[in-house]
Amino acid sequence: MSTKQRHTAIYLRVSCANGTQITDSQLDECSRFCEAKGWTNTVIYEDKASGTKASRPALDKLVKAMREGMVERVVVYKLCRLGRSLTHLSILLNEFKSLRVPLIATSQGLDTSDSNPCGQLIMGVLMCVADWERQNLLERCAAGIKSAKNRGVVFGRKPSLHKRRDEVLNLKQLGLGLREIGRQLNIPIASVCKIVKLAAN
């Protein structure tokens, strides 16, 4: 592991990168909290991106630093600044838990440190609710697929071009034009052209 001193990570995020939103209030709140706790070695991780984005540069950098053992704790203004959804938040919480990195949300009184049973309880509840949400999503997807199959929807890849090769070439030999071949076989003219071109090479 790196010999660098471990730090307190302050994570900030605003949804817009056009200057209409700033992280000053989040930073002020988190900085005052850290100062009151005596956590002087802090590093700022700031994203200017929608919470719906799966990847955020600063968050990715923070998680990497956590995995390298460089982060002692993570401080955010609110949980919504960190996770883009309950499911995403539960994934992050699992990562925090496995790496034994406490998460503190200053405005919500949340602290998942081992010494804080209440914070541990809240984290457990959040993860249970997120797991319930995931299971519901899987069930809805399975029900949707079953319903679609009952309506005759076929899943999987469409037949590849070589499966229509003989039909196309036979009609071509009979003197049919490419457009007419496509119409009779109900396949795009671009596919007909591709089959004929491949056969000629």
Q: Amino acid letter at 132?
A: W
Domains in the chain and their CATH numbers? 7-130 (3.40.50.1390), 161-200 (1.10.10)
Closest CA to 45 of 98, 94, 7: 7
Catalytic residue among 2, 15, 113, 160: 15
Closest CA to 84 of 51, 127, 123: 51
pLDDT score of 18:
47
With a CB cutoff of 8 Å and minimum separation 6, the contacts of 164 are 185, 187, 191, 195
DSSP strands (E only) in 5-70:
7-14, 42-48
Does pTM surpass 0.75? Answer: no
Give yes or no for a contact between 195 and 173, defined as CB atoms under 8 angstroms apart: no
pLDDT score of 169:
86
Q: Which DSSP letter does residue 103 get?
A: E
Give yes or no for a contact between 66 and 18, defined as CB atoms under 8 angstroms apart: no
Q: What is the distance of C-alpha 148 from the center of its chain?
A: 26
pLDDT score of 55:
62
As to burial, measured by CB atoms within 10 angstroms (0-12 exposed, 13-18 middle, 19+ buried), residue 1 is exposed
Is 15 in the active site?
Answer: yes
Per-residue pLDDT of the chain (201 residues; tens, 9 = 90+): 444 689 999 999 877 554 545 678 899 999 999 999 999 999 999 988 655 555 678 998 999 999 999 999 999 998 888 876 777 777 788 888 889 999 999 988 888 887 777 777 777 777 677 677 667 767 877 888 878 777 777 666 555 667 788 888 888 888 888 888 888 888 888 888 888 888 887
